Chains A and B, each alone.
Chain A
Amino acid sequence: MEKNEKTQVIAALVENKPGVLHSVANMFRRRDFNIESITVGRTEQEDLSRMTITVKGDEKTLEQVVKQMNKLIDVVKVTRLEPENIVTRELALIKVNVPDNKSRSDVINCVDVFRGRVVDVSPETLTIEITGTPDKIDAFLNLMKTYGIMELARTGLTALSRGVRSIRIEE
């Protein structure tokens, strides 16, 4: 990371309709901002979706990211989540190479330590589900490298504020 750069998690409530992801992604590209990860899903309010976007940048850039997002008509609310006050999670599915019993039991031990789950088994592979902060997932992946990762799917980070704080829009 360059000097003064930090990682920021941004939560946005957006209208749940076609084209919204396009306009958000387009704005990031057009303004030369970089999305580290993005997750999108429906919320408890039917007409709204929630985007969790991780961005890297200096303070001035992050401020612009939020302001430019706010300008988009389909974006209803944007907040920078305070890093010390959020719960973040990411889910990863990892297919690991386990040609023999020794490596198979070693991997299963690691999965237990990381509180993951084995979700699929074949004679030569294990597919593991692991949930946690991105750091935890990185650590687990590092361990698995020695066995050979055949395939990896990460969801990207999602986050909520701790306590009563929320970005919910009261109707």
Chain B
Amino acid sequence: MTKMSGAKALLESLERQNVDVMFGILGGAVLPIYDLLCKSKIRHILCRHEQGAAHAADGYARASGKAGVCMATSGPGATNLVTGIANAYMDSSPLIALTGQVPSGGVNTSYMIGRDAFQEADIIGITTPITKHNFQLRNAAEIPKTVKTAFYIATTGRPGPVVIDVPKNVQTEVTEIDFSNGIHIPGYKPTSNPHPLQIRKATEMLAEAERPVILAGGGVIISNASSELLQVAELLLAPVATSFMGKGAFPETHPLSLGSIGMHGNPVANKLLCEADVMLAVGTRFSDRATGRLDNFCAPTKKIHIDIDAAEIGKNVDVDIPIVGDAKKALQELHERLAKQLKKKKNTAWTKRVKETKEQLNPRSKGASKDLKPKALLQALRKLLPENAIATTEVGQNQMWAALYFNTLKPRTFISSGGLGTMGFGFPAAIGAKVACPDRPVVDIAGDGSFRMTEQELGTSVTEDIPVIVIVLNNSVLGMVAQWQRMFFKGRYSAVKLGSVPDFVKLAEAYGAQGFRARSIAEFAKAVKTALKSDVTTVIDVPISMEEDVVPMVPPGCGINEQVGDY
């Protein structure tokens, strides 16, 4: 027991969770914490908007596998975090969001909570449906236990964001603090060991399958189960499709890789998934963007579904064999049993079919622009970057082109807002990823519309010395909605044209970053090479045609095998 203030107890609790960095913006209701933060071992990165802080912490978490921490003051600071928290929730990212709150009592402060005080917002009420859990501290003594509990909940089972709301009087309260308390959460016991009977049933079904396919989701990446996935796939000679969030779970250059499924999925993946007799789905929640119309989604295919979240099983798609448990453990156990039962297969009729289909349906990019096609750009980018480089994306066409054409080879090297589809995520997430992995290049594959939403974080990346590369596929339009207006609204463009401002080269320079404009693949390659050698953030503006579509696509309301568009 040591006597200290709540603010000190909070920082020490964070240090005990091995937090070495946090992203945030201060304000009146967190001043006691910031007063001590400058003397703490924790590096604080001052962002330019709280949404940027939350996305950066999320990007840090996804790149490192550790919890990311962000902090904001009460009221508008806290509500500005909300998009970032919702984003982390949808993509199961371990985020700890600390928010200041007006005083709830205390000797030197008047009681303000619940009285519509200045900069008061009910952040607990606001974030209840978008967090795994949240806490409002009542006194300084409960800080160590609450912080421990919050990190445990955020990082175990199916990870997710946790909010800790800290009233100002709790920060200033001085009391005896005990860091030795253990945690006890009677209502939270994530199941990580799969049931042996279910594993046995799944083994039998897979051993008898003639045309097995694996659908790997983001859970495989979260659980660090990529090598187990590879073992199972190679043993079964099962082609592997991923969900969008699963991109990176399986090397996309592997002969068994089909790419990702879904609305803008790889046509090979969408087609072959529907031809399989048995599907092994791991760590995926069968989102609507992945499955398309549900009654058309691989109806005759028998399905095995592994997920650590029991509520995901049977939520969207009915399955034959549910397995609740950790993806890594389940795949390990499946492999062990299958290896005993199966002889190493040589090529089968199914692998031949996979090979043929891949050759036949390789997506090509046909569009209006003469030379700078997204496909060529992204393939060139892949060649320019080392295998372990991290790519983040914004949301929209840039994201879907990246999914289709930018091969991801390793887990945690493709970071994107899959569930919430948050424009503006990619750039701050890239900053967070760079902080987690300072020795690897980090590239934000951006569109101009999304980049405009969080471009002010150029200030953060330059002043905090976090160099990343932003590639702006610039069509001066909100490209994906323009595409939908072309395809489904008879080409009536409504409110999608952004105009050609700002000049992104000048914008970068205004912030002290470097800017290049690339009008050909050669210029693009030169700019990327310069950026990779540079120690300052680089924005590469690449003008492309606004008529360029992401094709093929599954129109809304159709099955994934009903892709349209010339490819």
B-binding residues in A (CB < 8 A) = 14-15, 19, 22-23, 26-27, 30, 60, 63-64, 67-68, 70-77, 169
Contacts and interface: CB of A to CB of B under 8 A. Distances in A.
Contacts of A73: 132-133, 153, 185, 187-188
A141 B153 CA distance: 48
A150 B129 CA distance: 39
B309 A71 contact: yes
A77 B310 CA distance: 14
B315 A15 contact: no
Contacts of A76: 186-187
B186 A30 contact: no
A30 B129 contact: yes
- In the A-B complex, the 4 residue pairs with the closest CB atoms: A67-B311, A76-B187, A73-B133, A30-B129
A15 B186 contact: yes
A168 to B, nearest CB: 13
Interface in B135-176: 136, 153
Contacts, number: 39
**Contact size range, B:** 10 to 19
A61 B374 CA distance: 43
B128 A23 contact: yes
A73 B132 CA distance: 8
10 contacts: A14-B187, A15-B186, A23-B128, A26-B129, A64-B315, A71-B311, A73-B185, A73-B187, A77-B187, A169-B186
A64 B311 contact: yes
Interface in B108-130: 124-125, 128-129
A88 B309 CA distance: 32
Contacts of A169: 186
A60 B125 contact: no
B314 A63 contact: yes
Nearest to B310: A67
A19 B185 CA distance: 16
Interface of B: 124-125, 128-129, 132-133, 136, 153, 185-188, 309-311, 314-315
Nearest to B188: A73
A15 B124 CA distance: 17
B379 to A, nearest CB: 41
Given A26-B128, A26-B129, A30-B129, A60 B314 contact: yes
Contacts of A22: 125, 128
B311 A68 contact: yes
A17 B278 CA distance: 46
Given A26-B129, A77-B187, 8 more contacts: A14-B187, A19-B136, A22-B128, A63-B314, A67-B311, A68-B311, A70-B310, A73-B188
Nearest to A12: B187
A48 B342 CA distance: 50
Nearest to A73: B133
Contacts of A68: 311
B411 to A, nearest CB: 25
Contacts of B311: 64, 67-68, 70-71
Contacts of A19: 124, 136
A14 B124 CA distance: 18
A73 B129 CA distance: 13
Contacts of B185: 73
B391 to A, nearest CB: 32
Contacts of B314: 60, 63-64
Nearest to A15: B187
B188 to A, nearest CB: 5
A6 B227 CA distance: 45
Contacts of A30: 129
A110 B270 CA distance: 67
A145 to B, nearest CB: 39
A73 B128 CA distance: 12
A116 B563 CA distance: 66
Nearest to A64: B315
A167 to B, nearest CB: 13
B145 to A, nearest CB: 14
A27 B311 CA distance: 13
Given A60-B314, A63-B314, A27 B129 contact: yes
B129 A72 contact: no
Q: Which of B125, B153, B186, B310 is packed against the most chain A CB atoms within 10 Å?
A: B186
Contacts of A63: 314
A72 B187 contact: yes
A6 B29 CA distance: 49
Contacts of B186: 15, 76, 169
Contacts of A15: 186-187
Contacts of A71: 309, 311
A4 B71 CA distance: 48
A90 B121 CA distance: 38
Nearest to A30: B129
Contacts of A60: 314
A77 to B, nearest CB: 8
Contacts of A23: 128
Nearest to A77: B187
Contacts of B128: 22-23, 26
A29 to B, nearest CB: 8
Nearest to B315: A64
Contacts of B309: 71
Nearest to A22: B128
A59 B125 CA distance: 30
B318 to A, nearest CB: 8
B425 to A, nearest CB: 22
Nearest to A68: B311
B414 to A, nearest CB: 27
Contacts of B132: 73
Q: Which of A14, A26, A73, A76 is packed against the most chain B CB atoms within 10 Å?
A: A73
Nearest to A71: B311
A63 B318 CA distance: 12
A75 B187 contact: yes
Nearest to A25: B128
A30 B86 CA distance: 13
A75 B187 CA distance: 5
Q: Which of B136, B310, B311, B314 is packed against the most chain A CB atoms within 10 Å?
A: B311
Nearest to A74: B187
A18 to B, nearest CB: 8
A96 B42 CA distance: 68
Nearest to A63: B314
A15 B187 CA distance: 8
